[in-house]
Structure 1
Amino acid sequence: MKPLFALMILTLATLVTGCQSMGMTEQATLRGTGDLGLVVERAAGSVLVIDHSEHEILGRVTGLGDLSHASVVYSRDARYGYVFGRDGGLTKVDLLTQTIDKRVIQSGNSIGGAISQDGEYVAVSNYEPGGVNVFDSDTLELVMEIPAEYTNAEGQPAQSKTVGLVDAPGNRFVFSLFDANEIWTVDMLTSPPEVSRFDAGKAPYDGLITPDGRYYIAGLFGEDGLSMLDLWQPEQGVTTILPGYGKGEKRLPVYKMPHLEGWAIADGTAFVPAVGHHQVLVADMESWELVDRIPVHGQPVFVMASPDSRQIWVSFAHPRNDVIQVLDSRTHEIIRTLEPGKSVLHMEFTPRGEEVWVSARDSNRITVYNTRTLEKVATLDAKSPSGIFFTNRAHALGL
């Protein structure tokens, strides 16, 4: 065999072997992200990448800073999770490589964020300095600063804490100003983005958007009731719903603010946590009138409907935060009281609702329940777990 011909044969064999090897490697690592998610490890400054189909922890990503009140949104392709840390950190996590793609410190104290309808922008809600910062979702370069400026009771200029930041149809962001008693919208389709301001009730502490994207509703800490803005008709301004729901009742100390993001809608009614009361409020969604009060174990933090709306799962504030109660959405009766562990912080339903994952911070574990039998099906070890966020959130408004 001539040397040149032999060299060509050897080169061809090497290329074929290399292609086969590359194909095997890609096949071993290639996967979708539809059944993945992130679990926040609050005290460790890390997140777990999990597979909720297999009840498996795939990896841990460290170095995310203060995650004491962290939340997550996802890119449109559900490959990247954007983690909002309490220390002002915004971290873009790659779920497939289980690494930090990019990270910026964008404020001194932040609390949550959102990704725009088109996936181009990530917005972060800040306490210090008060306002919202908007970033390019690919590069995390700053696109826009929105200082939450207002005039305080002393007539002096100030910046308010911003809370309840959500995405809305029309590539808008909506958020509340805790100190200024206002709701603002930001239209990212105009150039420059247009900011609109609306008067709200006293001390809005969190916000949500209805699944159809029409109503933005802010819970109020300073009064009994909620502020609602109709995003189809914003010119009508903010209206108050469920006013005076605690009238005649003694308000209890509030150790942890309720979270409205996971509020429940079932059979034309809304199930809302009552601030300072051991109750879940039930409102008719046509009239927005109070139709029932459900006595529960403690002060609700999360009131969440299963994807089929048959069950309402409720978690509670300290010191009664070691249980979960499951309610029937039709009868409003308590079906079961579960004990997932000490200091239950968060719940997350699998996309089709066959299971729910529950974090128990002080027990260092996640418990998975079957929603039909209400029996435990799996437990996973985690370091002070708090928020659980599955990638199906990439395709839902306001999450």
Structure 2
Amino acid sequence: MKRPSLLLALASLVLCACAQPTLRGTGDLGVVVERAAGTLQLVETSGQTRLARIEGLGDLSHASVVFSRDQRFAYVFGRDGGLSKVDLLEQRLVKRVVQGGNSIGGAISQDGTLIAVGNYEPGGVKVFDAVTLEQVADIPATPLPDGSRNSRVVGVTDVPNNGFIYSLFDTGETWLLDFSESRTPKVTRFANIGKQPYDALLTPDGRYYVAGLFGEDGMAKLDLWHPERGIERILDGYGRGQQKLPVYKMPHLEGWTVAGEHTFVPAIGQHRVLVVDSHSWKQVGAIDVAGQPVFVMARPDGRQIWVNFAHPDNHLIQVIDTETRKVIKTLEPGPAVLHMEFTARGDQLWLSVRDNNEVQVWDPHRLELIQRLPADSPSGIFFTSRAHETGL
């Protein structure tokens, strides 16, 4: 009589085990933006495989992504003003709000509770609760002199102590928002930073905010340890003596890279990567490259710089040795290489090849292609390790 009972109990245990969801961590997950389809492809780097596709995210033609501190949720900033929250473990869209008409990226606060979105239309920044996506603050940008609209916002990034910083393209300003004491921010404005700041970066230690200027050869730097000192102009006249070429795609300053004692910077309208002393912020060299650089990204150990290019050279990737400052390899992954992303410890480099409808995975030490994954017009690639980096 005991044997049937034992069999029933075992069968019950098997059924329960089968009903349990697959358990996994989030540390090796990432998303690939499929810009034309308005979808995210969920990937994992341990096995270099695709896990799922999340749909319904709107216009992702210039999308960027940040992650919650537990790496479970991705926040997607769409070009149509959409802010989407995606659950990476349940592989679904949790909530989407259309908060503006034309947004250009955003950031998550240091404590992970606030999401800031920068808008071209309407010009300004809106801030949302990271759990509910309810609006917390609305900070309109400076109106243009003719009153027709507000300035466009660029270069939104988080800063230490629950703040955000960004620049105003049309009015030449940088604004610092302080949310450290309440959800009504203290706003500090820095005027006359230069003509047309187009993007910006925060150094990995969170100290310096540097805005690139499209309207002139130079950059604007703010020391966040001493914001009372105001904006300092750096790299004035870096293009002197160089023929400025038509700009087909703006460099992304998030793709600047600090490696050792030097910072490597894409030069606007030039086929060069500038080498800058990271202490004095003075140019100490330049590296000739195959085209106009867009992303200039360091392998996590700082030994290599990987560079991709604007049209018509966007089928190329060049690898620079940071010690010799020479191009050591020119790769041809395929047409329209739009974005690159290293895994956190630098064992893999993922890149999107839009016009081949694929993502490629490279071994950055051997400079070898190790995997191809199909994707629908892929652009941005974002790994969850960004959750623990300031300014990304």
After TM superposition, is the score higher than 0.5?
A: yes
TM (norm. structure 2) is: 0.96
Q: Secondary structure at the match of 1:386?
A: strand
Q: Secondary structure at the match of 2:254?
A: coil
Aligned equivalent of 2:31: 38
Aligned equivalent of 1:284: 277
TM (norm. structure 1) is: 0.94
Please list, as runs of the form range in 1=range in 2, the aligned pairs for 1:117-136 lying within 5 A after superposition. Answer: 117-136=110-129
Q: Structure 2 CA distance, aligned partners of 1:337 and 1:53? A: 27
Q: Structure 2 CA distance, aligned partners of 1:331 and 1:13? A: 70
Report the Cα offset of residue 24 of structure 1: 4.2
Q: Secondary structure at the match of 2:253?
A: coil
Structure 2 residue 209 is the aligned partner of structure 1 residue 198: no
Aligned equivalent of 1:218: 211
Paired residue total: 389
Q: Is the 1:169–1:213 contact (alpha carbons within 8 Å) kept by the matching residues of 2? A: yes
Question: What amino acid maps onto 2:202 in structure 1?
Answer: I
Question: What amino acid maps onto 1:334 in structure 2?
Answer: V
Q: Structure 2 CA distance, aligned partners of 1:15 and 1:214? A: 61
Aligned equivalent of 2:384: 391
Aligned equivalent of 1:173: 164
Question: What amino acid maps onto 2:39 in structure 1?
Answer: S
Q: Structure 2 CA distance, aligned partners of 1:278 and 1:249? A: 10
Q: Which of 38, 48, 53 is residue 41 of structure 2 equivalent to?
A: 48
Label 1:190 to 1:151 Cα distance change in 2 as closer, same or farther (>3 A).
farther
Q: Is the 1:215–1:231 contact (alpha carbons within 8 Å) kept by the matching residues of 2? A: yes
Uncovered stretches (5+) of structure 1, i.e. residues with no partner: 2-8
Uncovered stretches (5+) of structure 2, i.e. residues with no partner: none
Q: Deviations over 1:10-46 (max 9, x none)?
A: 8x998986565334443x5110010000000011100
Q: Is the 2:144–2:170 contact (alpha carbons within 8 Å) kept by the matching residues of 1? A: no
Q: Structure 1 CA distance, aligned partners of 2:212 and 2:23? A: 43
Q: Is the 2:122–2:149 contact (alpha carbons within 8 Å) kept by the matching residues of 1? A: no
Aligned equivalent of 1:84: 77
Label 1:15 to 1:226 Cα distance change in 2 as closer, same or farther (>3 A).
farther
Aligned equivalent of 1:266: 259
Q: Deviations over 1:243-275 (max 9, x none)?
A: 100112221000110001121111210000001
Q: Structure 1 CA distance, aligned partners of 2:388 and 2:14? A: 36
Report the Cα offset of residue 201 of structure 1: 1.2
Q: Which of 344, 348, 353 is residue 346 of structure 2 equivalent to?
A: 353
Question: What amino acid maps onto 2:218 in structure 1?
Answer: G
Q: Secondary structure at the match of 1:29?
A: coil
Q: Structure 2 CA distance, aligned partners of 1:50 and 1:89? A: 22
Aligned equivalent of 2:289: 296
Question: What amino acid maps onto 2:177 in structure 1?
Answer: V
Q: Secondary structure at the match of 1:159?
A: coil
Q: Deviations over 1:98-125 (max 9, x none)?
A: 1101111110000111000000001111
Q: Is the 1:149–1:157 contact (alpha carbons within 8 Å) kept by the matching residues of 2? A: no
Larger radius of gyration: 1
Label 1:18 to 1:206 Cα distance change in 2 as closer, same or farther (>3 A).
farther
Q: Structure 2 CA distance, aligned partners of 1:383 and 1:289? A: 42
Question: What amino acid maps onto 1:287 in structure 2?
Answer: S
Q: Is the 1:163–1:175 contact (alpha carbons within 8 Å) kept by the matching residues of 2? A: yes
Sequence identity (%): 59
Please list, as runs of the form range in 1=range in 2, the aligned pairs for 1:63-212 lying within 5 A after superposition. Answer: 63-152=56-145, 154=146, 156=147, 158-191=149-182, 192-199=184-191, 200-212=193-205
Q: Secondary structure at the match of 1:376?
A: strand
Q: Which of 317, 324, 332 is residue 324 of structure 1 equivalent to?
A: 317
Q: Secondary structure at the match of 1:277?
A: coil
Aligned equivalent of 1:6: none
Structure 2 residue 16 is the aligned partner of structure 1 residue 22: yes
Question: What amino acid maps onto 1:240 in structure 2?
Answer: R
